[in-house]
Structure 1
Amino acid sequence: MNAIIEEREAFAAFLLRLRGKGTVPKQLIAAFEATPRRGFLSGHLHPAAWSDRMLPIECGEAIEGADLQAAVIAALAIEPGNRVLEIGTGSGFTSAVISRLAGRVVTIDRYRTLVEQARQRLEALGITNVIARQADGSNGLGQEGPFDRIVVWAAFETLPRFLLDQLSSGGIVIAPIGPEEGEQVVAKLTKVGSRFDREDIGVVRLQPILAGTAAVI
């Protein structure tokens, strides 16, 4: 089958799954449609690009299934002009999607290789409102806040209350919370005054967040 037709069919199946779970914002669909997911994966994984399973990437890491990525980005409720912090660049795909909804994205990862690859992919797509760099995201990025939205693709063992100070008023954090081994809950935390309102939006099994940056890769 022609690769383009194959990808269109896989994307259509992805949209059907999303719509089966509820209303999907048109802007989000457009952002996904404008971002070729296979371009963020190794060639042998292209047929699985729009699947709902974890897919391996470089540095021994993996990216979440497309459905989870869509659910999290939808829950962020990104508004035009928002400043977004993404902790866990991965392949760069989610920052590319978010860039089409937000004003500015700062995406960080502990692996230099992943950051460099993501930067090249973003540049190839002509995306100019994403800053990708290697950094320790275990404590957020306090010196550069406040952010309107923060999304974390690795799990905190306990509620990351320190991120409250890095959010603007009414800002939203989405992060998995739970033990290193076993299931974690994806929590949507909305800043209300000096506290969080919490809404749990799903269950996952993701890697724990790690302090520091990788020295070699």
Structure 2
Amino acid sequence: MNYEQARFNMIEQQIRPWEVLDNQVLSLLAVMRREDFVPPACKALAFTDMEIPLPPHKNPGQCMLAPRVEARILQDLAVQKHEKVLEIGTGSGFMAALLAHRAQQVITLEIEPELAETARRNLQKAGIYNAEVRQADGAANLAEAVSGNGPLRGPFDVIVLSGSVAEVPAALLDQLKVGGRLSAIVGDEPMMRATLITRVGKDSFRTTQAWDTVAPRLLNFPAPSKFTF
């Protein structure tokens, strides 16, 4: 398989048509070896317009997002070199790798221990050392997972949810700096909204929803009650 041609086709046929026109994002996607982050059995699918399931397959929803979705999220967030990033849902580590190239530091949380270890290996092989994978449940133990005495702790300039949620928990917004941005895919099938939340003050936020997509649920994030009175 000609990976370079497949990478070029992915960018020109999937990502550009999805209004990803930021040259820095496109240049990064042209050099990042996505094929090194997919499961070995799926290398031929590395550049296809689809989600790629990730072993150990205990939770069927755990996957790599489609390339166009990853690219659009990266463009929306406009991560800067001085910024500190938190990702929920490491998966294979590919999104963390993209973020690490744009940011100063990345913490990425993965609930599945085997996936967390795979992501660590993938990032190390890619020569990325400013991204730390922590095995943790971002839905239940967020404050504990991002605390500590070193530089890799909250609050954050950027938070990325690499999967969907029914609604964005307040605990995540609490970890966002003033001026920081949070990206999440919010809602229920068959249509979800890519949601960008910017913290504009201590207790105030601005929300935009620029495009629609569908993504698997992040584990353990609660759904709001459907009952009304």
- TM-score for the superposition, normalised by structure 2: 0.83
Q: Tell me the equivalent position of 1:210.
A: 219
Change (3 A) 1:19 1:206: closer
1:53 equivalent in structure 2: 50
Residue type of the alignment partner of 1:86: E
Q: CA 1:113 to 1:31, structure 2 compared with 1: closer, same or farther past 3 Å?
A: same
Structure 2 partner of 1:215: none
- Note the C-alpha offset of 1:117: 0.5
Counterpart in the other structure of 1:141: 142
Matched, 1:22 2:19: yes
Equivalent residue for 2:224? none
Measure how far apart 1:204 and its partner are. Answer: 2.8
Deviation >6 Å, runs of 4+: none
187-196 vs 197-206, which deviates more? 197-206
**Structure 1 residue 205: deviation in Å?**
2.7
CA distance in 2, matches of 1:177, 1:170: 21
1:128–1:113 CA distance, 2 compared to 1 (3 A): same
Question: How far 1:140 sits from its partner (Å)?
Answer: 7.3
Say if 1:140 and 1:177 are closer, same or farther in 2 by CA, change over 3 A: farther
Query: Mind listing any 5+ residue stretches in structure 2 that lack a counterpart?
Result: 148-152, 222-229
> CA offsets, 1:169-217, max 9 Å, x none?
11000011113x54322201111112221111332332323239xxxxx
Which residue of structure 2 lines up, in the alignment, with residue 11 of structure 1?
7
Query: Partners of 1:54 and 1:209 in 2: how far apart?
Result: 14
Q: 1:201 & 1:58 partners in 2: Cα distance?
A: 32
SS in structure 2 at match of 1:178: strand
Q: Distance in 1 between matches of 2:140 and 2:204?
A: 18
Q: In the aligned structure 2, how far is the partner of 1:140 from the partner of 1:78?
A: 25
In structure 2, the residue matched to 1:96 is 97
Which structure 2 residues correspond to residues 68-87 of structure 1 after superposition, within 5 A? 68-87=69-88
From the superposition, tell whether residues 139 and 199 of structure 1 become closer, same or farther in structure 2 (CA, over 3 Å). Answer: farther
Structure 2 counterpart of 1:184, from 180, 192, 211: 192
Helix, strand or coil for the counterpart of 1:133? strand
Q: Deviations over 1:69-101 (max 9, x none)?
A: 100111111011110000000011111111111
Q: 1:195 to 1:139 in 2, by over 3 A?
A: farther
> Measured at CA, do residues 50 and 140 of structure 1 come closer, stay the same or move farther in structure 2, by a change above 3 Å?
farther
**1:201 and 1:12, CA in 2 relative to 1: closer, same or farther beyond 3 A?**
same
What's the counterpart of residue 209 of structure 2?
200
| Aligned equivalent of 1:115 | 116
Aligned equivalent of 1:152: 161
8 Å Cα contact 1:27/1:101 also seen in 2: no
The alignment partner of 2:15 has SS state of helix
Contact 1:91 1:117 in 2 (8 A): yes
Corresponding residue number in structure 2 for 1:36: 33
Contact 2:11-2:30 within 8 A present in 1 as well: no
Identity, in percent, stands at 29
Gaps of 5+ in 1: 213-217
- d(CA) in 2 for partners of 1:201 and 1:87? 21
Query: CA–CA distance in 2 between the matches of 1:20 and 1:205?
Result: 18
